[in-house]
């Protein structure tokens, strides 16, 4: 009986020793860190009113209204609305969606023709590309949701795309005053990928195969428990379209995010701290890809927050 017990113990140890190498041989998941400056364009689901505007003696279009029809004709894009205004009519009737309810508004033709500057069917912005997944052909960017600055909400959109952009000027950050990048799309006819999802942890879509030439080597994804307080680096673009590496410090680690402090003097001299448009910049520590910058601390612009890739990608749907 004693021999049998020993034999069983030996078998267990042998099994453990045999299984352990199998675990270590499992291939770690990888992503390609990017850091490129991108222009973002999203076609909205309708024509939105950006400011209160009078359309008759007693009638107003309100900020946030969505124009559905003009004289019974469906309006999906601003160009349709502009074309319809060319038709002479004694009266104009607008069907709008206001606070989730349909409403009909009678408009003076002479006044309605002046509302075009207060309408939009597209939202645009700038940010930083975070990663490309070489296995699935998808990408992630920003690390937070796109909020339309006029509507002050996440826009409902029909389609969207991201484009490679170049930075022509930097407005530096200072305590209490966030800085920003001034950039422009390099080629409006060639997009990097489409936008399929806009949620609280970023924008996501399909990467365009033609742009594989700009991809770097993939890095292993760092798990949150591996991150340590101490030095790390970010990939970002602050001049032209060139991605550069800059040093930072990881200063605090939380469940879904961590805090950072920019330490690279070259970067601080140029930007004054984290900039609007830097959201999505990849964070790397010890050769592993851990997350993306998402926010700056307004009163201390050299400090900010970053999101773990694990959290960002969990919400990629």
Q: What is the DSSP string of the chain?
A: -HHHHHHHHHHHHHHHHHHHHHHHTSPPPEEEE---EEEEEEEEEEEEE-S-EE-SSS-EE-TT-EEEEETTEE--SHHHHHHHTTS--S-EEEEEEETTEEEEEEE-HHHHTT-GGGEEEEEEEEEEEEEEETTTTEEEESSS---BTTTTBPPPEEEEEEEEEEEEEEE--BTTB-EEEEEEES-TT--SEE--EEETTEEEEEBPGGGGGG----EEBPPGGG--SEEEEEEE--SBT--EEEEEEEEEE-SSEEEEEE--HHHHHHHSS-EET-TT-EEEETTEEEEEEEEEETTEEEEEEEEEHHHHHHT--
Do 56-114 and 30-43+127-314 fall under one CATH topology?
no
pLDDT tens digits, 86-103 = 887 777 889 999 988 999
Q: What was the pLDDT predicted at 315?
A: 66
* 8 A C-beta contact, residue 175 and residue 296: no
Confidence label for 243 from pLDDT (cuts 50, 70 and 90): very high
Phi and psi at 42, nearest 5°, equal: -130, 125
Q: What was the pLDDT predicted at 213?
A: 57
Confidence label for 209 from pLDDT (cuts 50, 70 and 90): low
Output the average pLDDT for the chain: 87
pLDDT tens digits, 253-279 = 999 999 999 999 999 999 999 999 999
CB atoms within 10 A of CB 19: 9
- Whether the per-residue pLDDT at 143 is higher than 60: the answer is yes
Q: What was the pLDDT predicted at 13?
A: 29
Phi and psi at 6, nearest 5°, equal: -65, -40
Q: Give the Cα separation of 292 and 281 in Å (integer).
A: 5
State in words which class domain 30-43+127-314 has. mainly beta
Q: Could you tell me the residue ranges of all domains in the chain?
A: 30-43+127-314, 56-114
CATH of 56-114, one of 3.40.50.2000, 2.30.42.10, 1.20.120.80, 3.30.70.260: 2.30.42.10
| Structure token pair of residue 265 | 């003097």
Q: What was the pLDDT predicted at 11?
A: 34
Average pLDDT over residues 143-162: 88
Average pLDDT over residues 133-149: 91
- pTM for this one? 0.84
Confidence label for 12 from pLDDT (cuts 50, 70 and 90): very low
């Amino acid at each position: 009986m004693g021999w049998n017990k020993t034999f069983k113990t030996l078998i267990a140890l042998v099994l453990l020793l045999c299984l352990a190498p199998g675990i270590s041989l499992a291939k770690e998941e990888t992503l390609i860190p990017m850091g490129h400056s991108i222009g973002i364009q999203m076609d909205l689901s309708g024509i939105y009113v950006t400011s209160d505007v009078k359309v008759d003696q007693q009638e107003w279009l309100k900020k946030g209204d969505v124009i559905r029809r003009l004289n019974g004709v469906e309006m999906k894009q601003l160009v349709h609305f502009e074309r319809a205004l060319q038709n002479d009519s004694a009266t104009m009737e607008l069907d709008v969606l206001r606070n989730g309810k349909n409403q009909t508004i009678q408009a003076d033709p002479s006044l309605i023709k002046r509302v075009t500057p207060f309408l939009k069917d597209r939202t645009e912005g700038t940010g930083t590309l975070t990663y490309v997944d070489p296995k699935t052909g998808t990408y992630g960017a920003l690390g937070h949701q796109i909020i339309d600055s006029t509507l002050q909400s996440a826009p409902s959109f029909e389609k969207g795309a991201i484009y490679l952009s170049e930075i022509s000027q930097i407005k530096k950050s200072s305590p209490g005053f966030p800085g920003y990048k001034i950039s422009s799309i390099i080629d409006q006819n060639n997009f990097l990928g489409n936008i399929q999802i806009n949620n609280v942890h970023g924008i996501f879509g399909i990467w365009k195969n033609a742009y594989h030439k700009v991809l770097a080597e993939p890095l292993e994804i760092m798990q949150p428990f591996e991150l340590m307080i101490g030095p790390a680096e970010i990939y970002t673009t602050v001049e032209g379209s060139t991605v550069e590496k800059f040093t930072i410090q990881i200063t605090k680690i939380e469940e879904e995010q961590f805090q950072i402090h920019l330490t690279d003097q070259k970067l601080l001299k140029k930007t004054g701290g984290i900039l609007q448009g830097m959201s999505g910049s990849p964070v790397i520590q010890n050769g592993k890809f851990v997350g993306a910058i998402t926010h700056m601390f307004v009163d201390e612009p050299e400090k900010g927050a970053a999101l773990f890739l694990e959290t960002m990608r969990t919400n990629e749907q």
